[in-house]
Structure 1
Amino acid sequence: MFTFPRPLLVPVFLLLTAGWSQAEEAQGPLVEVVQPQKTLVRDELITFGSLRSDESVMIRSEIVGRVDRLNFSEGQAVKAGDLLLSLDGSIARAELAQAQANLDLAERSFQRAQMLFKRGASNAQALDEAQSQQQASRASLALAQARLDKTQIHAPYAGVLGLRQVSPGDYLSAGQDIVNLEVLDPLKVDFRIPQKAVSQIRLRQPIEITLDTFPGERFIGEIAAINPRLDEVGRSQAIRATLGNSDQRLKPGQFVKVSVILAERPEALVIPEEAVMPMGDKLMVNLVIDNKVELREIQLGRRRAGQVEVRQGVSLGDTLISAGWQKVRPGMSVRIKRARDGT
């Protein structure tokens, strides 16, 4: 069998390798390319805040007395005017009966004084005294009725009750806590913004909140009130927003992340961050047009996870080099490979 002399084998291999390198160089380097995508981009102010009940009150007794009956359960939803608690009203009812009897007597005395005055058998002073006694007795009756009414404690508005602080048979002092009542729909969101952002905030501006309890979910609300005075210590402004909570999944007191929506661009162009090439104080991208590289300056907007908004310099449908731009130069031919994520 005929064989090449061993010294000739290496030069032949080098010739073949050199031929492949020249062919590859003639076609240009291999680069990954992407195209700009349209998506919603927001300018947001990020801060933190707390959820609060729309209305919150601690139900208390206005008078002293013994708890006769509880008419609610802990955690119960109630309507405005529902009876929550009854105090022992025996003394108040007795006082009311006494006041009613005194009023009856005062009215009869006033009627006799009027009759005697008309006949000339009495003077005006006696009539005035009888009328004054009648009015005082009416006031005493109204006071006794108010005391009796206060033995019945009602819900001031619709909401959800918390945990009770008393039991049947307890003797309550005036102002003693009984149970808290919370309005859970809507909820308030209290947060603060720095002084430099005050001019960007307005009433009815949309917000979104997120919290660890519901990862990946965003709850939408709007700004309802702005404190006109800034805090002198932190130079921040207090803001209050509201959001719906019909399913009552959100609870007062929760710590939340607040995003104030300053502006929205629903058709903004975004590209991967790795496609941007800094050159001095400019930002550039490498476009591929007819398989050749073209260098173009761009202006960027908002940045987000792995992507950046392009305000100026590229258009929808342009082809940009996302990987391999370090080995190209303007006018060079390139071989194209699409990025795996399709962006």
Structure 2
Amino acid sequence: MTARLHAWLLAALLLAAGFGQAQEEAAEPAPLVEVVQPQRMLVRDELVTFGSLRSDESVMLRSEIEGRVARLHFREGEAVKAGTLLVGLDDAIVRAELAQAQANLLLAERSYVRAQNLFQRGASNAQALDEALGQQQAMRASLALAQARLDKTQIRAPFDGVLGLRQVSVGDYLDAGQDIVNLEVLDPLKVEFRVPQKAVSQIHLGQSIEITLDTYAGERFRGEIFALNPRLDEVGRSQAIRAHIANRDQRLKPGQFVKVSVILAERPQALVIPEEAVMPLGDRLWVNLVVDGKVAPREIRTGRRQQGRVEVVEGLDGGESLISAGWQKVTAGMAVRSKPAGATP
């Protein structure tokens, strides 16, 4: 009877111990982790530098001759067409010179006609005829010179553009070469920037660029490279480059400082995951997947990183569930509970 009692007590103790262990296991549920799905998005390889905006064409209009400003035919800041009359200088003296040249030419032409008639009748020699011809040609040249001087009293726009601020007023006496007003072409604009010597081989004509500037935070303006300086700067060992940026609404202004991104390559359907899902172990990178409710580590190879995301070039196909938060407390094969990243547990 005593032996049976001892056996019964031992069985009861073992059963109690097993029940206690089961209670302890039931009190510690599988750890909760956050999971994410890989996404497909555009990823670019970019070379980032800085540059400035320039007018596509820019000129300071100046007078080629001396004279007093008689008329201004423009308003500051207005758009003008090529050939538009902008400034008229006092042309009284030049017109008088033109009239004198016309009269001299008329006289020279009549003298030449008379010399021809005399030569044909034998009443004059060839020398007199040549002198009359030379005088006629000289008077024609004088007339052309007077006409050119008259034309230069009218200053016109050399191309379509937008005028700046004028530097003269009506009545001012201009010296030859004195500034009058600047004329700018604002659409398109030029982007001038430099790249270091080591990146020169990656740049080519027709390559796309994007610029950003503080004035329009978050916006990117796209352009295209159209000129490369074949000579590198000997001091900075860099190459000067120019690109065109469309500016139809004229929101961009010449002289603005911009951040330039030269697009080296684009992958529209690249696979990306959050950076926090990546586990560095030595020189290798891993992620933890959740497969049938259990942890399954997998090695990956990454590419470009941008804005908290990293491109995966090898190791994933896009259909996996990755542990993005909580992977520090799990091990391979461990059962876990999962919830989408950012969701309420």
Same fold (TM over 0.5): yes
Q: Find the residue that maps to 1:148 and give its secondary structure.
A: helix
Task: Work out the CA distance in 2 between the residues paired with 1:94 and 1:22.
Answer: 115
Q: Find the residue that maps to 2:104 and give its secondary structure.
A: helix
Task: Work out the CA distance in 1 between the residues paired with 2:85 and 2:343.
Answer: 63
Q: Find the residue that maps to 2:214 and give its secondary structure.
A: coil
The residue type paired with residue 81 of structure 1 is G
2:334 is matched with which residue?
332
Q: What is the TM-score when the length of structure 2 is the normalising length?
A: 0.92
1:128 is matched with which residue?
130
1:28 is matched with which residue?
30
The residue type paired with residue 186 of structure 2 is L
Task: Work out the CA distance in 1 between the residues paired with 2:330 and 2:24.
Answer: 16
Task: Work out the CA distance in 2 between the residues paired with 1:17 and 1:245.
Answer: 77
CA drift at 1:186: 0.5
Task: Work out the CA distance in 2 between the residues paired with 1:261 and 1:159.
Answer: 30
The residue type paired with residue 43 of structure 1 is D
Q: 2:269 aligns with which of 257, 267, 270?
A: 267
Cα deviation 1:197-234 (Å, max 9, x = unaligned): 11111111111111111111111111011111111111
1:47 is matched with which residue?
49
Q: Find the residue that maps to 1:213 and give its secondary structure.
A: helix
CA drift at 1:20: 5.5
Taking only the aligned residue pairs, the percentage that are identical comes to 75
1:114 is matched with which residue?
116
Task: Work out the CA distance in 1 between the residues paired with 2:183 and 2:339.
Answer: 64
Gaps of 5+ in 2: 1-17
User: Are 1:278 and 2:280 an aligned pair?
Assistant: yes
Task: Work out the CA distance in 1 between the residues paired with 2:343 and 2:307.
Answer: 14
Q: 1:140 aligns with which of 142, 152, 176?
A: 142
Measured at CA, do residues 41 and 116 of structure 1 come closer, stay the same or move farther in structure 2, by a change above 3 Å? same
CA drift at 1:341: 7.0
CA drift at 1:297: 0.8
The residue type paired with residue 292 of structure 2 is D
Q: 2:239 aligns with which of 214, 225, 237?
A: 237
Task: Work out the CA distance in 2 between the residues paired with 1:131 and 1:189.
Answer: 57
Q: What is the TM-score when the length of structure 1 is the normalising length?
A: 0.93
The residue type paired with residue 84 of structure 1 is L
Q: Find the residue that maps to 2:193 and give its secondary structure.
A: strand
Task: Work out the CA distance in 2 between the residues paired with 1:178 and 1:88.
Answer: 15
Q: 1:150 aligns with which of 152, 159, 162?
A: 152
Task: Work out the CA distance in 2 between the residues paired with 1:164 and 1:46.
Answer: 38
2:314 is matched with which residue?
312
User: Are 1:185 and 2:187 an aligned pair?
Assistant: yes
Task: Work out the CA distance in 1 between the residues paired with 2:326 and 2:248.
Answer: 52
Cα deviation 1:19-67 (Å, max 9, x = unaligned): 6651254x53221111101111111111110000000000000000000
Task: Work out the CA distance in 2 between the residues paired with 1:196 and 1:302.
Answer: 19
Cα deviation 1:207-262 (Å, max 9, x = unaligned): 11111111111111110111111111111100100011010111000000111111
User: Are 1:69 and 2:71 an aligned pair?
Assistant: yes
User: Are 1:78 and 2:80 an aligned pair?
Assistant: yes
CA drift at 1:17: 9.6
The residue type paired with residue 303 of structure 1 is R
Task: Work out the CA distance in 2 between the residues paired with 1:24 and 1:281.
Answer: 39
Task: Work out the CA distance in 2 between the residues paired with 1:240 and 1:130.
Answer: 58
Cα deviation 1:265-296 (Å, max 9, x = unaligned): 11111111111001111001111111111111
Q: Find the residue that maps to 2:101 and give its secondary structure.
A: helix
**How many residues get paired?**
327
Q: Find the residue that maps to 2:216 and give its secondary structure.
A: coil
The residue type paired with residue 194 of structure 2 is R
Deviates more, 1:285-294 or 1:236-245: 285-294
2:107 is matched with which residue?
105
Task: Work out the CA distance in 2 between the residues paired with 1:17 and 1:174.
Answer: 106
Task: Work out the CA distance in 2 between the residues paired with 1:337 and 1:140.
Answer: 94
The alignment yields a C-alpha RMSD, in angstroms, of 1.6
User: Are 1:91 and 2:81 an aligned pair?
Assistant: no
Task: Work out the CA distance in 2 between the residues paired with 1:242 and 1:82.
Answer: 26
Q: Find the residue that maps to 1:271 and give its secondary structure.
A: strand
Deviates more, 1:16-25 or 1:326-335: 16-25
Task: Work out the CA distance in 1 between the residues paired with 2:241 and 2:96.
Answer: 52
User: Are 1:293 and 2:309 an aligned pair?
Assistant: no
Measured at CA, do residues 137 and 341 of structure 1 come closer, stay the same or move farther in structure 2, by a change above 3 Å? farther
Gaps of 5+ in 1: 1-14
Cα deviation 1:137-180 (Å, max 9, x = unaligned): 00000000000111011000110000000000000000000000
